[in-house]
């Protein structure tokens, strides 16, 4: 970065990353700008556990890890396989998920609930059949309690573990993050989301020990796609490191279920480098947290002036 501002290379990298993450080269689509609006503080405290975890660069690893783990539930995977356009439009699929996470994390409660309702409307048609881990054929819908629970657990675990490996200390520790993010689970109608790290671990292990998870050709297809998505150049090289980081962050039993092995390369260290470069690029412009802070400062002023 020069005295006059970010370099052209940094600007290009930021634009490519924000197009992938937010669907906008400037990172300010209308739903990000709306974070500054609203008349409440939102679901999560400023600079609390959820803000810190979701604002950390470990999220770039966590997104990949969450998708890998989610694929092990044949019901969740059936919904993606049957209804998602991730193969034809992976950027659109990614930016849609990022949109929900950012709006719920940093937006007002009104925005978070509206965004959750938008996602719910997209899911109304998602239904079909799948073969469970025990071989039984079952029906599924996107709002089935076991499926929304599994997606919530995989997400929370991925973001927590990735941040623990590559992020700053979490205010209140892991328990604080799991307890806070349970609010997002309730928004998505997860029955009794975990509120501690121990509960999160137990819930994940419960799915595995009950035989509800399985690996099949659809899982292998998702793994192949996640290993080599349509990213090119420096971004493609960085992504390969992030994919190996996601694999390295998984417990051995989960890697075995996915048919994956840890890379012999120093992935943890290489990931720190990739995340540092990414942080510098993204830090050269406004982020969602900045818009949230503006809303909070406005609300503070309004309370003082009332």
Q: What is the pLDDT of residues 151-193, one digit of tens each?
A: 999 999 999 999 999 999 999 999 999 999 999 999 999 999 9
Instruction: State how far the Cα of 187 lies from the Cα of 148, in Å rounded to an integer.
Output: 11
pLDDT band at 17 (very low <50, low <70, confident <90, very high): confident
Instruction: State how far the Cα of 57 lies from the Cα of 153, in Å rounded to an integer.
Output: 20
Looking at 118-132, 181-195, 256-270, which range is the least confident one? 118-132
pLDDT band at 88 (very low <50, low <70, confident <90, very high): low
31 within a domain of the structure (yes/no) = yes
194 within a domain of the structure (yes/no) = yes
291 within a domain of the structure (yes/no) = no
pTM: 0.90
303 within a domain of the structure (yes/no) = no
Average pLDDT of the chain is: 89
DSSP string, 226-239: HHS-S--HHHHHHH
Position 140 scores a pLDDT of 84
Collect all residues with Cβ–Cβ distance below 8 Å to 73 and sequence separation of at least 6.
Answer: 147, 150, 207, 212, 213
Position 267 scores a pLDDT of 96
Position 138 scores a pLDDT of 85
Q: Which domain holds residue 157?
A: 8-286
Largest CA distance in the chain: 64
Position 3 scores a pLDDT of 46
65 within a domain of the structure (yes/no) = yes
Top-confidence residue, 144 or 42 = 42
Collect all residues with Cβ–Cβ distance below 8 Å to 209 and sequence separation of at least 6.
Answer: none
Position 129 scores a pLDDT of 86
Which candidate, 30, 37, 22, 25, places its Cα nearest to that of 291?
Answer: 37
Q: How many domains does the chain have?
A: 1
33 within a domain of the structure (yes/no) = yes
214 within a domain of the structure (yes/no) = yes
In percent, the amount of the chain with pLDDT more than 70 equals 93
Angle between helices 173-187 and 145-166 (to 10 degrees): 150
What DSSP designation does 2 have? B
Q: Per DSSP, which regions of 126-269 are E strands?
A: 127-131, 137-141
Contact 50, 179 (CB under 8 A): no
293 within a domain of the structure (yes/no) = no
Top-confidence residue, 160 or 78 = 160
Position 20 scores a pLDDT of 73
Q: At 130, phi and psi to the nearest 5?
A: -150, 160
Which candidate, 274, 278, 246, places its Cα nearest to that of 157?
Answer: 246
């Amino acid at each position: 970065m020069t005295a006059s501002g970010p370099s052209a290379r940094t600007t290009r990298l930021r634009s490519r990353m924000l197009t992938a993450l937010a669907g906008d080269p400037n990172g300010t689509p209308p739903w990000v700008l709306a974070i500054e609006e609203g008349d409440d503080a939102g679901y999560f405290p400023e600079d609390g556990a959820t803000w810190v975890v979701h604002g950390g660069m470990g999220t770039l690893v966590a997104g990949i890890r969450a998708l890998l783990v989610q694929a092990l539930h044949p019901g969740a995977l059936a919904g993606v396989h049957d209804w998602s356009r991730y193969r034809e439009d992976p950027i659109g699929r990614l930016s849609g998920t990022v949109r929900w996470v950012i709006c719920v994390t940093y937006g007002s409660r009104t925005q978070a609930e509206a965004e959750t309702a938008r996602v719910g409307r997209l899911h109304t048609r998602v239904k079909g059949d799948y073969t469970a881990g025990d071989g039984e054929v079952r029906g599924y819908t996107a709002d089935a309690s076991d499926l929304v629970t599994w997606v919530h657990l995989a997400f929370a675990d991925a973001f927590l573990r990735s941040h623990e490996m590559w992020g700053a200390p979490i205010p209140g520790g892991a328990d604080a993050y799991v307890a806070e993010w349970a609010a997002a689970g309730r928004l998505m109608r997860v029955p009794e989301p975990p509120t501690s790290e121990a509960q999160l671990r137990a819930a994940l292990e419960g799915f595995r020990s009950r035989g509800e998870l399985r690996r099949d050709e659809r899982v292998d297809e998702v793994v192949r796609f996640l290993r080599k998505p349509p990213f090119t150049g420096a971004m493609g090289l960085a992504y390969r490191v992030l994919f190996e980081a996601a694999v390295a962050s998984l417990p051995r039993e989960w890697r075995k279920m996915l048919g994956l092995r840890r890379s012999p390369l120093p992935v943890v260290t290489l990931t720190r480098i990739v995340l540092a470069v990414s942080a510098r690029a993204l830090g050269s412009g406004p982020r969602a947290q900045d818009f949230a802070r503006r809303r909070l400062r406005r609300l503070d002023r309004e309370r003082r002036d009332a």
